[in-house]
Structure 1
Amino acid sequence: MASRSGTRIVRGVTSKKKADIEQAAALQRAGQNAYKVGDLQGAIESFTEALVANNEDIGILDNRAATYCKLKLYSQARADARAMVKLAPNDDRGYLRLAKVLCLDGNFDKAREIYEYALQKIPADRPGRNALVQLLKKLQDKLAGGNRRDPFTVLPLEIAELTLRHFSFKQIVAILRVCKGWSRFLGGLSSLWMHVDLTGARSRVPWTSVRNYIHRSRAQLTNATMTNLVPSTTPKVLDMLSRCPQLEHLGLMVPHDQPKEFYLKIKDFRHLKSIVCGADISLSHACVGSILSTLSKLEKAAFLRVWDNPTRGPRPPSTWPQHLPNMKSLTIGSSQENPQGLSFPDVLPGVGSSVYPNLEELGLVWDPARAQSYRFDPVQEEEHLPPLRILDLRGAAVQHNLYSILPTSLETLRLFSGSIETPHLGGNMLTPGENELPNLKTLMFNDTPWVNHSTLSLFLLHSKAPLRTLHVNFCHNINSEDLINILNDPSGANPELKELTDVGVACMAGMDDWGVGNLSAVLPNLKILDLSQTRITGCTIRMFADARTEESAVEKLNGLIIKGCDGVSRDAIEYGRQMGLKIIT
């Protein structure tokens, strides 16, 4: 508690005797000392006696008012503060004390009025005026809900629009409901409504919401991702979207099982550059071919539930296009139960560079993948695959020439399950050819039975692939010793193998603590290691955890995946995490 001392107020021509003033000052000091040591009642008594000796000193009144506040006796504190204002209407201390008491008592509106009144009374050159201004502003912000300001009235239009583009569809809808002003502002920004994405919706979205969105975009929608719709409204939503001439990207994760009707809706989307049909849309092979033929501007297409009815006798004329120069990414998936396996008669063969000269990504997926789900024989003799960067095959029965036909542009190769058809028993499974795969950075095998020492050596040593990611998961024809011998090839056929950073050996035979130690010794740049369903124990965790505090070859390891590793204790996992390892169990 502090107060300005030495100020004496003279009313009219009266004055206090010197003895009374000195006695009041002594009692005031006694009260201040009592306040400091927590004797609030003693402080009140001293200040009261001081005021009996000199009732014209607002410093004593200020001290007593502060003490009353400490005791939460706000009515008494308010009376002393009002007496201060009455004695010295041009002194800021009375107004400051009175406003503070009112705030402590919860009367913020009245406190604001006191600050405003004080600024009318206090001269501009008084030092305390600045404090009044600052406290008034702080209180006004508090009454307005903090430092909130309408961003759409403060930010430039361009900045506000760029900011709003970072919000999701759900968040934009929530912003619309804040107030009418925000609704009008957002509704006037047609560029904000060019992309509708219903992925984050928690419940079914009525078709009227999509209609309103299209209306706000003035039918200039360019991107649409439809999901969580009421199934019966899917045709109506497609009708509305077809009236958006600028629509270029369409994602449909909604139920639809009438291929002919679906094609009649989709064929009107002439400007589409990408289309994704999720697993809830069942399409015939012929329907997919018709879509690709009609929508000639497509650059990306994904159809995740395609079926084909095998028929006896000659096949009907193909509806698939013979030339798709714009296609860059094509994914065809299915889970059709067919004892003869899947049939992609117009896709394979026929995926050569003459049909898809600019194709960069190809995915053929049977889910769940199994051996010989479909025959992958993509090119005729002396033909080549297009300049693929990504090839994803799940459940493919590949041919012996798979390695030799892979394009040099390939960056990612993923093979799940499937089988291999060899030309004759006892021969090499894969024909080496002269392919060095100079751009291959990611190689992933998952439950691929034909991966063994010979085939893996072909990909890792015969090539000069600059691999950074290698997964050999659930491949039961190769063990840890084979893998480590390939990676530690003494001839140094492919020095890029030392640069591997992400390795997966889930369920690999023989992979235990000793094997992991050897693996980490030959891969000095390893950062992520998947050891799921292997025979490791907590010793492996401790080895990598302790290495993080030492200068060693394995100090850069960041993360371990150890799902299904029953030999690892909870204590070891906690120790590894404490040492900074990211461990996924």
Structure 2
Amino acid sequence: MPRTMSAVEYQELGKKYYKQKEYQKAVDAFTEGIESMSIPSVGMLNNRAASFEKLEDYKMAVKDGRDMIKIDKKDVRGYLRTGNILQKMEKSQVAIEIYKYGLKNVPVTDENFKLLQSMHDKLTRQLSPPKAIDPFAVLPIELVEMIISYLTFRNMVTCLRVSMQWKRFLISRVSLWTHLDLSHARRQVSVAFVRDCIRRSQFKIKTATIHRFTNSDVLRSLATTCKSLSTLDFLSGSIAGDSLCEVAMCATQLKRLTLAPHIEISLDAVTQVLRHRPTLSHAEFFSINSTGIRADWRVDLPNLQTLTLTASTSCSNPSSINLNLPSLYARAPNLAHLKLNSWQTSPHSGLLEEQDFTPLPSLTSLALTRFTLSTFPRLPPSLHTLILSSDNCVNFTTLSPLSARNDQNALDAHLPLLRDLEISCVAGIGAGLFEKLLLEDGNSGGVEEGERGGSKLMRLSLANADIPDAVTLFALLSNPRLAALSILDLTAGPVDDEAVAALITLFPNLTHLNLAKTRVTGVSVKALVKNLGKPGLKWLGVDYCMGITSEDAVRLARGRGVEPKTNTSKFKVIRSIISA
């Protein structure tokens, strides 16, 4: 007999019977609706499963639940319905597996994801043994110590309160206290606690991360008594320059010292620390505040390999600070990683000399961020990573001296080992200068003969660079040394759908691509996903691309294993950055 109602009408009829507790009639109505559809809807199956459940026909209810999961793995209803019925059938272990499967497939943004998580956790607790077994009672001591070593320092300290047995064991294991890590402290750390940690280590602390602790006397004691102390990282607090110098003098084996951005230190104190502790190989100062000072690098620093010098945001006149960089390069010839951030070089301090890095033959990483450039810097051929960026857009074609010097410096700066290049917030990087910078042949002084051709770049960022048009951009990107790029950032560049088609051809190996603030549309997203998707492209940045007006392209990207980051007026705001 032909059906006289639509699927929607059968569903409404079934719901009416269900409310009236006529569950068999509800099942019949839902069945008619399901059979009238080419593909059953999850909602219809869910309604019929609920009716079967009321009739205690759990086998049929579970079948409908599994069919719901098959039809749409991202719909949380199938997992909740199936898991609940399996629990009633006393098949709790199977129910847990259903919940686990759901947690892998249901988006965390689903409003019922937390309910699914709580059902899984609740059932897991119910199936746990009624009494926990103390691992100290059944495991070898060596294995317990290895397990504890994987905990964060804060969690290990929390374990002291479990029982007296745990406390005695933890205090007695010297190796667990050789790394003092206060980074997870939520409030001010007491002097007594730090002293206890020093004693528990038997004065063998090797690394210390200081946070929410400011007692200078205890820090001096730490540096004096722990002869193996090699690393000191300050994340917060206020330590005076004199106190820091004393700590550095006492820590005779200190190799690494870092001060977080909100810990201010004078330039004079920086030079004194390095002067008194020439053993340092890694030093980072993120908030240097001083005026009218010329840095005095009095001693040789042959061990120094990594150095970060950042001007404080509260510094009223950074240009009055003379870093005396030529003297630093002469004192630390083995520098491999150098970062200079937020400095305005003084016009009376040998400006061109300060931007000549060729005296550092071992330099592999150079980052000049928000650093005043008077000309294209002279660079050593040993560089693997080069970062040039400025808050105020620097134009290499108008710098003084004239652009001829820029061209010559770029030519002299042949970088055959370069693999990571970032040129952000600058202008005037025409194809000519870029080609000279990435020249494949020519002067490669200090480089082995087999490397003269130049290595392939793996990462390139031209974010917010003032590139006039797509023609100029692709003249830059057509350089042979860019053929193997895996990470590319063209934020705010002259990129549209036509340009994306060229990108796909030029860079088939891309894994991360940032096209934020460009003119691309959903057409570009689909083309990128289709041509560079699995197993290649993994991350796509399309923040503030107002040409993307539909979420279809975003869904397609996620379905192909690409994580798109969007921030438009039509989508949920997610601020993203590219990371190598």
Structure 1 length normalisation: TM-score?
Answer: 0.65
Q: What is residue 579 of structure 1 aligned with on the other side?
A: 560
After superposition, the Cα gap between the structure-2 partners of 1:154 and 1:290, relative to the gap in structure 1 and judged at 3 Å, is same
2:433 pairs with 1:455: yes
Aligned residues: 423
Equivalent residues in 2 for 1:166-565, closer than 5 Å: 166-229=150-213, 233-242=214-223, 243-256=225-238, 258-310=240-292, 319-336=296-313, 341-342=318-319, 345-352=322-329, 354-366=330-342, 377-378=352-353, 384-400=359-375, 402=377, 405-417=378-390, 419=394, 422=399, 424-425=401-402, 427-431=404-408, 432-461=410-439, 464-488=454-478, 494=480, 496-508=481-493, 510-547=494-531, 556-565=536-545
- What displacement does 1:347 show? 4.2
Unaligned runs of 5+ in 2: 1-89, 91-126, 442-453, 567-580
Amino acid at match of 1:560: L
Show CA shifts across 1:461-514 (max 9, x none): 45734201000000114543212123335xxxx3x3211110000011x21111
After superposition, the Cα gap between the structure-2 partners of 1:143 and 1:324, relative to the gap in structure 1 and judged at 3 Å, is closer
- What displacement does 1:289 show? 0.7
After superposition, the Cα gap between the structure-2 partners of 1:265 and 1:511, relative to the gap in structure 1 and judged at 3 Å, is same
Per the alignment, in what secondary structure is the counterpart of residue 163 of structure 1?
helix
- What displacement does 1:366 show? 1.3
Q: Distance in 2 between matches of 1:322 and 1:501?
A: 42
Per the alignment, in what secondary structure is the counterpart of residue 204 of structure 2?
coil
Contact 1:292 1:321 in 2 (8 A): no
Equivalent residues in 2 for 1:38-53, closer than 5 Å: none
- What displacement does 1:343 show? 5.2
Contact 1:165 1:192 in 2 (8 A): yes
Q: Distance in 1 between matches of 2:352 and 2:318?
A: 14
Amino acid at match of 1:355: R
- What displacement does 1:310 show? 1.1
Contact 1:276 1:302 in 2 (8 A): yes
Contact 2:181 2:208 in 1 (8 A): yes
After superposition, the Cα gap between the structure-2 partners of 1:400 and 1:261, relative to the gap in structure 1 and judged at 3 Å, is same
Per the alignment, in what secondary structure is the counterpart of residue 535 of structure 1?
coil
Contact 1:304 1:334 in 2 (8 A): yes
- What displacement does 1:358 show? 1.8
Per the alignment, in what secondary structure is the counterpart of residue 427 of structure 1?
helix
After superposition, the Cα gap between the structure-2 partners of 1:548 and 1:523, relative to the gap in structure 1 and judged at 3 Å, is closer
After superposition, the Cα gap between the structure-2 partners of 1:279 and 1:346, relative to the gap in structure 1 and judged at 3 Å, is same
Contact 2:504 2:528 in 1 (8 A): no
- What displacement does 1:234 show? 3.5
Contact 2:542 2:565 in 1 (8 A): yes
Amino acid at match of 2:556: Y
Q: Distance in 2 between matches of 1:537 and 1:356?
A: 50
Q: Distance in 1 between matches of 2:407 and 2:514?
A: 27
After superposition, the Cα gap between the structure-2 partners of 1:461 and 1:484, relative to the gap in structure 1 and judged at 3 Å, is farther
Percent sequence identity is: 27
Equivalent residues in 2 for 1:124-139, closer than 5 Å: none
Q: What is residue 109 of structure 1 aligned with on the other side?
A: none
**Structure 1 vs Structure 2 CA RMSD:** 3.3
Contact 1:443 1:469 in 2 (8 A): yes
Contact 1:351 1:386 in 2 (8 A): no
After superposition, the Cα gap between the structure-2 partners of 1:346 and 1:409, relative to the gap in structure 1 and judged at 3 Å, is same
- What displacement does 1:249 show? 0.3
Structure 2 length normalisation: TM-score?
Answer: 0.66
Amino acid at match of 1:334: A
Q: Distance in 2 between matches of 1:562 and 1:237?
A: 50
Show CA shifts across 1:263-289 (max 9, x none): 344432222111001122221111111
Contact 1:275 1:300 in 2 (8 A): yes
Per the alignment, in what secondary structure is the counterpart of residue 368 of structure 2?
strand
Amino acid at match of 1:557: L
Unaligned runs of 5+ in 1: 1-103, 105-141
After superposition, the Cα gap between the structure-2 partners of 1:485 and 1:245, relative to the gap in structure 1 and judged at 3 Å, is same
Amino acid at match of 2:381: T
Per the alignment, in what secondary structure is the counterpart of residue 427 of structure 2?
coil
Q: What is residue 572 of structure 2 aligned with on the other side?
A: none
Show CA shifts across 1:64-91 (max 9, x none): xxxxxxxxxxxxxxxxxxxxxxxxxxxx
Q: Distance in 2 between matches of 1:450 and 1:204?
A: 50
Equivalent residues in 2 for 1:69-218, closer than 5 Å: 145=130, 148-218=132-202
Contact 1:415 1:444 in 2 (8 A): yes
Contact 1:499 1:523 in 2 (8 A): yes
Show CA shifts across 1:144-192 (max 9, x none): 635x543334443333333322211111012222111111111111111
